[in-house]
Amino acid sequence: EVQVLESGGDLVQPGGSLRLSCVASGFTFSSYGMSWVRQAPGKGLEWVSAISGSGDTTYNADSVKGRFTISRDNSKNTLYLQMNSLRAEDTAVYYCASLTGSFLGYCDYWGQGTLVTVSS
Amino acid sequence: AIQLTQSPSSLSASVGDRVTLTCRASQGISSALAWYQQKPGKAPKFLIYDASSLESGVPSRFSGSGSGTDFTLTISSLQPEDFATYYCQHFNSYPQSLTFGGGTKLEIK
């Protein structure tokens, strides 16, 4: 059974930093791309970042370029999102999702989400 | 980048109704489209991929169709558990990215 579990969400001040983690199991982690998708309160889904199965290639939405960094440790089946220079508009539930391809694709398995609140 | 526009933004329907939701791409995307269902406080659930292929375990009352720029998700006979928000999604080759539609909220009439 595939399982995806995020952690690391917290209340942080504007300009601060936070690192999210996502542990996956039940599939060959290194064979699939992974992605972060967020959802602001009462809003729709917004793609944030994605990374290839090998970790060599990353993709970022324009809204987070230069501030967020996605990475993975295939030895630990873990995905990360390092978030710097956080803004109020980054407040959202952050979901980790596996992708159907080794680079990009559809989001087939999702975690339950972790809440990031940016506020003073 | 390709934009996805979903319509309507909300829809009221009754149990047993047949409903069709629409997703329109700003340019042709062949059949590279997925649909998701999200209930309040829950993660999205993967329903349909490649426009018309049903993900394993998804009830057969769900079906998808379309190619190019116009896509539909049809629920043949609404069940109480189907009232949720539905999103379409595409992955772009250039620039390499994922795109979600704005969602359609399906409510009980």
Give the pLDDT confidence of A53-99 residue by residue, as tens digits: 999 999 999 999 999 999 999 999 999 999 999 999 999 999 999 99
Local confidence band at B14 (pLDDT 50, 70, 90 cut-offs): very high
Interchain contact, A45 vs B87, CB within 8 Å:
yes
* pLDDT of A9 over the 80 cut: yes
* pLDDT of B45 over the 80 cut: yes
Are A60 and A67 spatial neighbours (Cβ–Cβ below 8 Å)?
A: no
Residue A70 at interface with chain B, using a CB cutoff of 8 Å: no
Beta pairing, strands A11-12 & A114-118: parallel
Q: How many CB atoms lie within 10 A of CB A62?
A: 9
Residue B102 at interface with chain A, using a CB cutoff of 8 Å: yes
The structure tokens 């999200």 sit at: B38
Radius of gyration, CA atoms only, chain A? 13
CB contacts of A106 in chain B (<8 Å) are 34, 46, 49, 89, 91
CB contacts of A59 in chain B (<8 Å) are 96-97
Q: Which of A2, A45, A47, A95 to mutate to test the interface with B (most CBs of B within 10 A)?
A: A45
* Distance between CA atoms of residues B49 and B62, nearest Å: 12
Are B23 and B73 spatial neighbours (Cβ–Cβ below 8 Å)?
A: yes
Mean pLDDT of A115-119: 98
Are A85 and A15 spatial neighbours (Cβ–Cβ below 8 Å)?
A: yes
E-strand stretches of B2-103 = 4-7, 10-13, 19-25, 34-38, 45-49, 53-54, 62-67, 70-75, 85-93, 96-100
Local confidence band at B95 (pLDDT 50, 70, 90 cut-offs): confident
* Distance between CA atoms of residues B88 and B90, nearest Å: 7
* pLDDT of B94 over the 90 cut: no
* Distance between CA atoms of residues A112 and A5, nearest Å: 7
Are B33 and B50 spatial neighbours (Cβ–Cβ below 8 Å)?
A: yes
CB contacts of A45 in chain B (<8 Å) are 36, 38, 44, 87, 89, 100, 103
Residue B7 at interface with chain A, using a CB cutoff of 8 Å: no
Nearest residue of chain A to residue B96 (CA atoms): A59
